[in-house]
Copies of this chain bind each other. A is one copy, B any other.
């Protein structure tokens, strides 16, 4: 019977796998990489998770939830559109700052194997049924903002933030930046993005 089935080891494997997969992707990661990063025997990854693929799916599903959940939460908040957009940008920025490889990892793995995005339908529903979708439509109808569809606005928000981090390695290499310098650049850029998107949308307002 026993109490906890070595949750320590299982979690150590998960943490190592998360780290290595995020850095090297599924194809670039070997079972030995994960075992080494976790400081455990090679056979244990297959003892706890049945295969490299199953371990990956477990990590991937966790990360894609991290990718979406915060966003959906904000989309449904009972706050004004201007504030909501700023919050969406800030949230995405913080998420990327804490997980710089998250976006390129997700985009890449879905690109290589689209079936991995199993709960795509769920994501679509959550988005379509969100407060944000109605909210935007109403504001457009009232004429307080430029006419725009929710999908386009969402892409603008995440593209401007996430591409910063997707292209981070390139920027650091081209501009001879340190991590600190990149962070400072990203921070300024984030503020610019908020300014640009809201200025564009709320063109009819005076402030």
A residues bordering B, Cβ < 8 Å?
24-25, 27-28, 101, 104, 106-108, 110-112, 114, 117, 120, 123-124, 127, 148, 151-152, 155-156, 158-160, 162-164, 166-170, 172-176, 185, 188-189, 192-193, 195-197, 199-200, 203
Report the nearest B residue to A116, measured CB to CB.
B173
Instruction: Report the separation of the CA atoms of residues A108 and B101 in the bound assembly, to the nearest whole angstrom.
Output: 10
Number of copies: 2
Q: Chain B's nearest CB lies how many Å from the CB of A158?
A: 7
Whether A189 pairs with B27 at a CB distance below 8 angstroms is no
Find A199's partner among B27, B28, B200 (CB 8 Å cutoff).
Answer: B200
Whether B27 pairs with A170 at a CB distance below 8 angstroms is no
Whether B164 pairs with A166 at a CB distance below 8 angstroms is no
Report the nearest B residue to A199, measured CB to CB.
B200
CB-CB under 8 A from A25, the residues of chain B are 25, 27, 108, 112
